[in-house]
Amino acid sequence: MATTRSLRVFFSKRFAEIDQTRLIYFLSLIVGLLSSLAAAVLKNSIHYTRRLLTDGLTPESGSYLYLIYPVLGIFLTVLFVRYLVRDNIEHGVSKVLHAISRKKSRISGHNNWTSLIASTVTIGFGGSVGAEAPIVLTGSSIGSTVGRYFGMNYRYVTLLIGCGAAGAVSGIFKAPIAGIVFTLEVLLLDLTMSSIVPLLISSVTAASVAYFLMGDDVLLSFTVTGAFDIRNIPWYLLLGGITGLVSLYFTRLTLFLEARYKKIRNVFVRLLAGGLVLGILVIIFPAFYGEGYDAIMALLEGESESLFQNSLFSRLGNGYLVFSLFFICLILLKVVASSSTTGAGGVGGIFAPTLFLGGITGFLTASLLNRLALVNLPDNRFVLVGMAGTMAAVMHAPLTAIFLIAEITGGYSLLIPLIITSTTAYMTIKGFERHSIYHIQLAEKGELITHDKDKAVLTMMDWKKEIERDLITVRASDNLGELVKTISKSSRNIFPVVDEYNILQGVVNLDDVREIMFNTELYNTVFVKDLMTIPPTYLDLGEKVEAVMEAFTRTDAWNLPVLDKGYYVGFLSKSRIFGTYRELLVQFSEE
């Protein structure tokens, strides 16, 4: 602690006179560097863990281990999280969004490393989830830690969280533009000149470090050959609609299955149930083991037959009907595998499962159209465009999907198909789901930060902290004399009237008593019940801040009582809550 304090003092003196803009540029570079290093560590740790466990295994010779490994991996993860971390580290992107909206961008320091370990064990042992959400949480945590260490305000800490997320995505895919757009679309960071430059610095730093450490080796790398054929536009539109509906299925079933797993109270029963479901699926469909990028690369390289032959499904026959049914099962059951992983206690995200789902959907769509519609559609292009379609729909992030796939393929020859399919998929799911899978639960609680500054401020505001609870209460049966004694002890001009059960009956305002309060002849003949008035409305402790602001606007009142299930709590003043609103609005404004 003493060393940490000394370092903070040392740095604070060195950076005290540096312009805040230049400091944020420097810190964004540091955050990008650290995020990229974290991404490299995670990618390599998952790769070598899987290699250590599965080298020499085939579905025929060691399939029982594909049942044991996922259960063991989730078991170790649960022990690590439950007894060492002692905090919830699942759903990394949603956790970042919650920290921005509800915790003043404070992310616990342990997230700098705990997600790396937990996701390595989960995925390396066969968990059917992605490493992107954990690395986004790690990068964002690094940004939050660095920002708070240097005493940045909320706005700059939030920006550094965005830099960490951009650096994480850029580092893991070597896709700097996708990293920036992901931050803007998914984390809903404001697009301003003061924010875009730090994001650029962080993202390009992360990509450069990734190239330096790993060369051209990335999770997905495929060069598209051939020119765009305008005659295929209708088929790309069709693929967009299909991937949009598949994404809707994935989103809703994911939320449903995770909710069902949470209803299993016993942690270890839940672990066993989810682990066994996952293990059985991996035995039947080895493509479900881990993130699934090997399966995507097999499709891109024209080795779809090997995916089919390496599964137990191939024992049903070798006809095209069985072949197609195999890929349909991959689409339908991938969500069960990924939800069972996280539902059982594993740590990972839906980024990779979404890409897997889109790749399989794109391949199957092209394959069926080639056979049934007698066309000649390129399988690999449809795999890539399908990946963009599901990502655009599930995450409600069409630009991220477009630029990620474009950068993965090393060029923009697929740009038109990517735009067509991603936009169509996004429009399709938008008709059914207003928010992305990352945002649904936060939006339902009213905790979702948006690009609308007014709504963002309202989301940030905790109006319950502004409740004034020090007002002196009186009884309706009190006479004027007793009321005057109470007034003499108070510095307030409002006196709530409550009964013996603390239920609000009305309000006495000092202005209504002022003319008679010194008339001693009325002290024993006038009672509080004769003087009290009924408030124009009341606020319930469970109401959202939007309803609170609307109540003040509708009633034009300066003070409103707050109740908790009918019981009196305190008063909220318009001046106080609007003052807090203005203070928060400054934090979202340009400085």
Q: Which of these three, 434, 456, 478, is where a domain ends?
A: 456
Is there a domain that residue 362 lies in?
yes
141 and 102 part of one domain: yes
Instruction: Encode pLDDT of 302-325 as tens digits.
Output: 888 888 888 888 788 888 899 999
Instruction: Encode pLDDT of 16-59 as tens digits.
Output: 556 677 889 999 999 999 999 999 999 999 989 988 888 766 65
Instruction: Encode pLDDT of 229-248 as tens digits.
Output: 888 999 999 999 999 999 99
Q: Which of these three, 399, 434, 456, is where a domain ends?
A: 456
Instruction: Encode pLDDT of 160-202 as tens digits.
Output: 999 999 999 999 988 999 999 999 888 877 667 678 899 999 9
Distances (CA, A) of 119 to 115, 254, 288, 291, 341: 6, 19, 16, 11, 11
Domain containing 324 equals: 230-456
pLDDT at residue 5 greater than cutoff 70 = no
* pLDDT classification of 61: cutoffs 50, 70, 90: very low
* CA separation for the pair 217, 293 (Å, rounded): 13
Instruction: Encode pLDDT of 256-275 as tens digits.
Output: 999 999 999 899 899 999 99
Residue with the bigger pLDDT between 149 and 460: it is 149
476 and 427 part of one domain: no
Instruction: Encode pLDDT of 348-377 as tens digits.
Output: 999 999 999 999 999 999 999 998 877 888
pLDDT of residue 330: 95
Residues 6+ apart with CB under 8 A from 317: none
* CA separation for the pair 446, 513 (Å, rounded): 41
180 and 237 part of one domain: no
Is there a domain that residue 4 lies in?
no
pLDDT of residue 59: 54
pTM of the model: 0.80
418 and 467 part of one domain: no
* CA separation for the pair 351, 130 (Å, rounded): 6
167 and 258 part of one domain: no
Question: Which CATH number is 353's domain given?
Answer: 1.10.3080.10
Q: Which of these three, 397, 429, 456, is where a domain ends?
A: 456
Q: Which residues of 174-196 are buried (b: 16+ CB within 10 A; e: fewer)?
A: bbbbbbbbbbbbbbbbbeeeebe
pLDDT of residue 29: 95
* pLDDT classification of 480: cutoffs 50, 70, 90: confident
pLDDT of residue 586: 61
CA 136 to chain centre: 10
Is there a domain that residue 222 lies in?
no
Instruction: Encode pLDDT of 523-558 as tens digits.
Output: 888 888 888 888 889 888 888 877 888 888 888 888
Supply the mean pLDDT for the chain: 86
Question: Which CATH number is 540's domain given?
Answer: 3.10.580.10
pLDDT of residue 591: 44
Contact between residue 535 and residue 507 where contact means Cβ atoms under 8 Å apart: yes
191 and 170 part of one domain: yes
168 and 242 part of one domain: no
